[in-house]
Amino acid sequence: MKDPTSPATSNASSVAWPPIAVPGQGLPRNREERTEQQHDSAGATADASTGVPHRNTLDTQSAEASVPAIVPDSADDAAPDAPEATDGGSTAGAGTALLDDLRTAIGRYVVLPSNEALTAVTLWVAASHIQPGLQHAPRLAVVGPTKGCGKSRLLDVLYETVHQPMMTVNTSPAVVFRVIGKNPPTLLVDEADTIFGPKAGDKEDLRGLLNAGHQRNRPAWRISGPEHKPTAFPTFAMAALAGIGDLPDTIMDRAIVIRMQKRRPGERITPFRSRYSVPELHALRDRLADWLVPLRVTVAGAVPKMPVEDRAADTWEPLVIIADLAGGHWPALARAACLAMTRSEVVQDEQTTLKTRLLRDIRRVFEQEGGREALRSQDLLAVLIQDAEAPWAEYGTKGLNAYHLANLLRDFGISPANYRFENGRQAKAYARNQFVDAWARYCPDPAASVPTAGAPARPTQGRPPTPPSGWLPTGPPAGPAGPRPTR
């Protein structure tokens, strides 16, 4: 398949690549200088203003040395289900070297929070060149706590390396609807906090578009044209969004999250300048197109072995496909980055999502009470508010109260009911058995044992068992519609 926006790909070896410029050295004049330059590009570079050589903390590490060595359990784990090259020859060696070069170039201009994040960004850039062959278009959420963390600089690097970039700030859904087509661009949205921030107003259309565009064949229908005909607008496109603070939960759930931080004293990067940065990055972009565009048909049928499941697998699959195509150490690096970053986001989500935090804190209270069957609402509230590290004392205007507690738990199908205690007194209370299913689904105990072979993964269908005398009645978790997603 030929891409009209990409260079000719019939004979990659015959393409004359633009020379790579280096700060303070200009453009190399011949092959010998280019070879020597590429050999020295990972070492010391010269400060463009002073001429004093310095070392970039990320430049001085090659792709092999900067990432912990990961030894796969077997040959199948190293590169399972990797698509074969269609030209009759092996492209694994060339792909490995190309991704190494791209990884080094990205690390030259931006300090990313971890080696896994650098691996993920490298693979995401490469995956943009096979968009037409993908089933899912992962988002790249580049977020940071404050300004000056390198978010916009990373978008600058992405703009020069991804397939058909479209940079925008505070765009509208109507524009995005019309630029996405059969050969969609790679959307790069800077200042995303101005779109989804608390003062940005109603942006549900754009959020819905970005959510739908994560998966192929999710068009948006609009009345269009002078005849007012219903028209389907494609939404499928890869997108990177950068901003201060987290994006909406539904976007973060479909994204590879890069949590940027300010550089430490002593962490050096190469200044991004068009005169030498753009030619280098464009050369890498063209090499990626020559390698990957002919493989779009091949990757459409690729089913790689994934270390995660569900939506995380959908999001990371394009990156793992690229790693398997490259071969070498990249399949192991990609799967290690997938596991590490997915687990990190699970922990981050548990710590920041109030409803999940509430379930965890209530489980702790029941454990402290020695396995009591039920707790009075007021007693449960008192213990929750006394926790100085929890947000419940400052929740609302006067702290968490019984109404707030019932409202937060309603989405899980949990509500207080009258309960008769040992002394014969009756009071509103929460029963432990109401929380068991929600605990297992939303905040499983890491120490819980793995289900034995042959055990059903889900409760068997049919009427639930009758609860013991004195317990509150249980119902389906979160009611018939399930929990409503938070925004």
Q: 156: part of which helix (H) or strand (E)?
A: helix 151-159
CB 14 within 8 A of CB 286: no
CA–CA–CA angle 422, 369, 382 (5° rounding): 90
Q: In angstroms, rounded to a whole number, what is the distance separating the alpha carbons of residues 372 and 187?
A: 53
pLDDT per position as a tens digit, 241-254:
999 988 888 899 99
Question: In 3-state terms, what secondary structure has residue 174?
Answer: helix
Q: Residue 459: CB partners within 8 Å, gap ≥ 6?
A: none
pLDDT per position as a tens digit, 44-62:
334 433 333 333 333 333 3
Q: 243: part of which helix (H) or strand (E)?
A: strand 239-244
What the block records as the tokens of 242 is 């950068």
Q: In angstroms, rounded to a whole number, what is the distance separating the alpha carbons of residues 118 and 106?
A: 8
Q: Residue 135: CB partners within 8 Å, gap ≥ 6?
A: 215, 216, 314, 317
Q: In angstroms, rounded to a whole number, what is the distance separating the alpha carbons of residues 93 and 102?
A: 14
pLDDT band at residue 255 under the 50/70/90 scheme: very high
CB 414 within 8 A of CB 430: yes
How many CA atoms lie within 13 Å of 160's alpha carbon, on the beta-carbon side? 22
Which range in 201-205, 408-412, 461-465, 483-487 is most confidently predicted, on average pLDDT?
Answer: 408-412
Distances (CA, A) of 429 to 181, 417, 433, 463, 483: 55, 6, 12, 25, 22
What the block records as the tokens of 8 is 């000719």
Q: In angstroms, rounded to a whole number, what is the distance separating the alpha carbons of residues 459 and 349?
A: 26
Res 466: pLDDT: 43
Across 334-355, average pLDDT? 87
| Nearest residue to 321 (alpha-carbon basis) of 482, 169, 99, 9 | 99
Residues 423-443 as b/e (b if ≥16 CB within 10 A, e otherwise) read eeeeeebbbbebbebbbeebb
| Nearest residue to 102 (alpha-carbon basis) of 292, 247, 257 | 292
pLDDT per position as a tens digit, 140-197:
999 998 888 999 999 999 999 999 999 988 777 778 878 887 778 999 999 888 787 6
Res 447: pLDDT: 55
Q: Is 36 exposed, middle or buried (0-12, 13-18, 19+ CB in 10 A)?
A: exposed
Res 201: pLDDT: 54
pLDDT band at residue 277 under the 50/70/90 scheme: very high
Q: In angstroms, rounded to a whole number, what is the distance separating the alpha carbons of residues 196 and 402?
A: 31
CA 452 and chain centroid, separation:
31
Res 372: pLDDT: 87
Res 113: pLDDT: 94
Q: Residue 389: CB partners within 8 Å, gap ≥ 6?
A: none
DSSP string, 178-232: HH-SSS--EEEEE-THHHHSTTS---HHHHHHHHHTTBSS--EEEEETTTTEEEE
Res 325: pLDDT: 95
